Chains A and B, each alone.
Chain A
């Protein structure tokens, strides 16, 4: 294969990565933007989405049916769990930033242990809903991966529409700006928070359902998405949806391309250091407006 086709392949892989990453990162960004909560258990919500997709596939015999069922069920179930977490845990902590980080660290351990106990330590594969191989002149490529890109784009467009055009989005943005004023205007802030947290977790779960036919389910699989979501959210500017999308695209693409050229560990080392340095020297993110 020549350099051109290799680059095309790497870009495609990067796009798949970027699409899934954007979904997970937008979830994290939403909870931070609206609620000022850093959710360390976000990676575990992602993991739960994948594990649930596998579980659903065990009950539904046909792959396409199972996939559709998982696509609906997993985000809802994870969202419900997140709703419960918000009302039972985060609300009682008054959303104190440091306490909520410690609490969500505890939650992530608990969820990992839960997945390990019920799901076991092995990685499990889930069948893709359809097998389609697109033949390029230089290589064949999975049609499902292209579908993942399209599906993620569709969901992101829907999220963007909800945030910028719908009443729910207006209420969320109002709460983000000033929760006391929002409350004074009759907005049920408790419900907005619980809903935002559920939506953020649901997006992570959805991303995982999409990716699991490609990369298998495992109880420790939440680590990398959490780290990458952090990176995307911080580089993109905390709480900025547009910045998050751009950063997801850049990081997803560069990760796809770089990991073909360099060892992944080295890429991760550089990425974590970049995040730390961005937070130190440019806390508003690379794309956020200067505060």
Chain B
């Protein structure tokens, strides 16, 4: 049994009268790929915003690598090893691909920054575009850069918010290869594409109306009646 890296207990967050996240427990073990699924409005993005520190919870605690991080601001959590990639691509559109990656790498690579940037770019297939302004890249390349910046932080936990949204099939294949190639990084994946979820996830948590509906292995989730009724609609992928 691998060690627990992140443990959230009783997380809640309301917007006005709407309880977007309502008493959620979530445990991530070191090195696993954990998918977070659920219909639109289930509270997935709110939940990962609480985990990454972009939002503060109304109630509940978050422990990461044994320490309570509930009150830490987002940037401090990043330094502790939690990286977040945005659902809506958020890169430095006016800067070059080199600078985008360098901003993620420069804190840990003082002497060999240029090499580290080249390596990070090669990993996501953007090495030929180092001097290109990021905003002029194709949409697929921008998504890859977004993920690449998250990876470049060498996080212990990488939160991917709908990474394959809007990607073509070939690009999704590249993404799968990239994620499978990672070792030791825990991944929390929000994903609508059930093929991607089934291809990658070792465990799945299903969220509905801000609550955890079910949590378990892909097979267990597939077999879960409550999930089928609420979400999967008889075992088929739904959006």
The reply, when asked whether chain A contacts chain B directly with Cβ atoms under 8 A, is: no
Q: What is B's interface to A at a CB cutoff of 8 Å?
A: none
